[in-house]
Amino acid sequence: MLSLVLIFIASLFFSGLISRTKSILSGRKGPGIFQPLKDVARLLRKGTVYPATCSFIYRMAPVVYFASVVAAILTVPFNGLSGILSFQYDFVFFAYILSLGKFFCIIAAMDTGSSFEGMGASREALYSMLAEPAFFLVLGSLGLLSCNNSFVDIFSHIDFSSTQALVLGIVAAIILTILNMIENSRLPLDDPKTHLELTMIHEVMILDYSGVDLALIHITGYLKFALYAALVANIFIPLARSFIGAVALFVAIQALSAIIIGVIESFYARYRMNHNPEFIFALTAVAFLVIFSTFCF
C-alpha cells in the first residue's frame, strides 16, 4: 500500500523534473515542474472527439492501459513490505499485465484507420517484444542472487555485503533505467518532442485521443516512469538502515532517474529507426551477462 502511495506521489513530479532538467541544460527558462499536471487538469476539463472509423475498442483502450499500469504498481513492494498483490513469481504477472495494456494501445491505434498510427503501433509491438526478455533476465538474475522468487523477497534478500553483488545491482539498475526509457518511448529511441508523425512511436499512436482519454494516457505514462524507477529504488533499499532512510533513498532514486533521463535527452539525438532493434536487443545480451556473472560468484 505504501509503495502505491509513494509511486503516485513520485509520478506527480517525474515528468516535470525531466523537462525542468532539459530546460536548465539547454539554457531555457522552460515550463515549471508542475506543467504536466496543469496539462492533465486542462485536458480533464475538455470534451472528447472520437474518430468516425473507430469501434468500442478505441474507447476502452485508455481505461485498460491505465488499469494495467495500476495493477502492475500494486505488485511493487517497499522496504520489505509486500505490495497489495504479492505472490511467487509476481514479476511475471507484472510484465504480462503491462503487455496487456500495450496490446490495447496497439489495437486502438490500428482502429483509427490512420496509416501513421499503424506505423507507431507496429513499432511499439516490435520494440516491446524485443525489450521484454531483458526484464525477465534481470529479475531472474536478481532472483538467483537472492535465492527468492517474488518481488518482495527478491528485493529484501539481496545481500550487498560483497562488491560483486553491488556491481550486479548497479548493472541491473542501469538495465531497468534503459527499459524505463524504452517503455516510455523516450530518447534515444523515440523523441517525444518530435514534430513529424513519420518518426514517432508512442506519440503517433495517441494522435487522435483527446480530452479525458488523453489525460488518462498521460497519467499512465507518468505512473509508468515512477513505476520503473521504483523498481530501481527497490534494488538499493536494503542499503538503507531505517524506514526514513528508505523513503529518502526512494525519493532520491526517483529524482535521480528523472534527472538522468533529462540529461540523456539533452545530449543525445534520436537513433535511426533501423538501429533501434539492435540497441534494444543489446540490452538482453547485457542482461544475459548478468545471469552468467550471478552464477559465477
Interface with another protein by CB under 8 A: which range of 23-31, 165-173, 257-265, 270-278?
270-278
Shortest distance in whole angstroms from residue 116 CB to another protein: 6
78 bridge partner residues? 81
By CB under 8 A, name the one of 19, 128, 177, 257 that touches another protein. 128
Our finding on whether 212 is near another protein (CB under 8 A) is yes
Residue 265: Cβ-neighbour burial (10 angstroms; 0-12, 13-18, 19+): buried
Q: How many CA atoms lie within 13 A of 134 on its CB side?
A: 27
Collapse the DSSP code of 190 into the 3-class scheme (helix H, G, I; strand E, B; otherwise coil) and give the result. coil
Instruction: Evaluate whether 30 touches 19 at the Cβ level (below 8 Å).
Output: yes
Assess 207 for contact with another protein (CB under 8 A): yes
Helix (H, G, I), strand (E, B) or coil at 242: coil
CA distance 201 to 127: 10
Asked if 297 is part of the footprint of another protein (rule: CB under 8 A), the reply reads: no
Between CA 131 and CA 281 the distance in angstroms is 7
Q: Which stretch binds another protein (CB under 8 A): 17-25, 104-112, 173-181, 182-190?
A: 104-112
Give the binding range for another protein (CB under 8 A) out of 13-21, 80-88, 156-164, 183-191: 80-88
Q: Does 160 bind another protein (CB under 8 A)?
A: no
Site for another protein in 14-73 (CB under 8 A): 44, 46-55, 57, 60, 62-64, 66-68, 70-71
Residue (100 or 251) nearer to another protein, CB? 100
Q: Is 88 in the site for another protein (CB under 8 A)?
A: yes
What values do phi and psi take at 50, rounded to 5? Answer: -105, 145
Cα separation values, 188 from 178, 192, 266, 286, Å: 10, 10, 10, 18
Q: Residue 238 CB, nearest distance to another protein (Å)?
A: 20
Side-chain half-sphere exposure of 175, counting CA atoms within 13 A: 30
Judged by CB under 8 A, the residue of 29, 115, 161, 269 near another protein is 115
Check: CB of residue 260 under 8 Å from CB of residue 232: no
Cell of 163: 562488491
Taking CB under 8 A as the criterion, the residue among 111, 153, 190, 191 binding another protein is 111
Smallest distance, another protein to C-beta of residue 93, A: 6
- Contacting residue, 34, 243, 268, 295, with another protein by CB under 8 A: 295
Check binding of 137 to another protein (CB under 8 A): yes
Say whether residue 269 binds another protein (CB under 8 A). no
